[in-house]
Amino acid sequence: MRSTLIISLLSCFFAAYEAKVFSKCELARKLKAQGMDGYRGYSLENWVCMAKYESNFNTKAFNGKNANGSSDYGLFQLNNKWWCKDNNYSSSNACNIMCSELMDDNIDDDITCAKRVVRDPNGMSAWVAWVNHCKDKDLSKYLASCNL
């Protein structure tokens, strides 16, 4: 009985750190509930498009291959040079968060950090994937079937 309880508790602990891969509509609903539709002038479609091309909606996405040696973390691929802190790179840590916290299935802190990113003068242009795939494009397909 005791070992069953310990295994159950450990399973809950590890489950809390699992990745979540959102569907586009599930992510759109979450972002809308967090006030992202129209945030700093960017439609919900822009946020969903950016997340599609940055992480394919995967909260555990990681890119450690940037030319300057920095890495990108989580759903929005937030960079450890500017936005979050890890132990491998000197950081401005403008979001005041550990990068590892951006790689779990709770995206509230990711959204808070993304809001911080777009408050800078570059806005969503901080995300190269958004510039290359979303900016000035017809993004209606990102919410077409979502019934928001």
Domains of the chain: residue spans and CATH: 19-142 (1.10.530.10)
Read off φ and ψ for residue 74, nearest 5 degrees: 80, -170
The structure's pTM equals 0.86
Catalytic residue among 54, 101, 110, 136: 54
Average pLDDT, the chain: 90
Tell me if residue 104 is catalytic.
Answer: no
29, 44, 113: which is closest to 74 by C-alpha? Answer: 113
**For a pLDDT cut of 90, what percent of the chain falls above it?**
83
Average pLDDT of the residues in 135-143: 97
* Closest C-alpha among 54, 57, 60, 95 to residue 74: 60
Q: Which of 49, 67, 71, 51 is nearest to 59 (CA)?
A: 51
| Catalytic residue selected from 45, 72, 109, 110 | 72
Q: Tokens 């439609």 belong to which residue?
A: 43
Radius of gyration in angstroms for the set of CA atoms belonging to the chain, rounded to a whole number = 17
Catalytic residue list contains 101 = no
